[in-house]
Amino acid sequence: MTLYALLIIYLFMHKSETVLRSTIDRIEILKVIAHPVRIKILKELATGVKCVSDFEEFLDISQPNVSQHLSLLRRYGIIDYYVDGRLRCYFLRDPMVPDLMGVLDKEYKEELPAPACCPVTKKGTYPGERRR
């Protein structure tokens, strides 16, 4: 399936009241979000509506560069905007984004524990150091 076909499916699914996504759709969204500038934009939008000038202030990049990032996020239905006079005010559309930003901000204190042995054969031992 081509990227264009995936985009059409994603946009069609966003028109319904319930946002249902296949695994491929979610992967495409993660690819789009996976950029430091876009993550900063989405974290700001999670706090409320922002205008382009607001993004320029805290991102420290040029207005055309900000617009390119916003355009990509909008093309995938992650954000949208409304016009207020000469201003474009952006807001989140995708309900998955605040959850993703929460996961990215979460601090993990420990690694997951290693298994005591192979779950299938019930033999063997973990070769690493054991934490007690």
Residue 13 belongs to domain with CATH number: 1.10.10.10
Domain assignment of residue 130, yes or no:
no
Domain assignment of residue 112, yes or no:
no
Domain assignment of residue 129, yes or no:
no
Question: pLDDT tens across 75-132, in order?
Answer: 999 999 999 888 889 999 988 899 888 888 888 888 888 777 777 777 777 666 655 5
Domain assignment of residue 33, yes or no:
yes
Global pTM value: 0.70
Mean pLDDT score across all residues of the chain = 81
Nearest to 92 by CA among 126, 19, 42, 128: 42
Residue 50 CB neighbours (<10 A) = 20
Question: pLDDT tens across 17-46, in order?
Answer: 445 567 788 888 889 999 999 999 999 999
Percent of the chain topping pLDDT 90: 33
Q: Domain range spanning residue 94?
A: 3-105
Buried b (16+ CB within 10 A) or exposed e, 78-87: bbebeeeeee
Domain assignment of residue 131, yes or no:
no
pLDDT of residue 17: 40
Residue 49 CB neighbours (<10 A) = 14
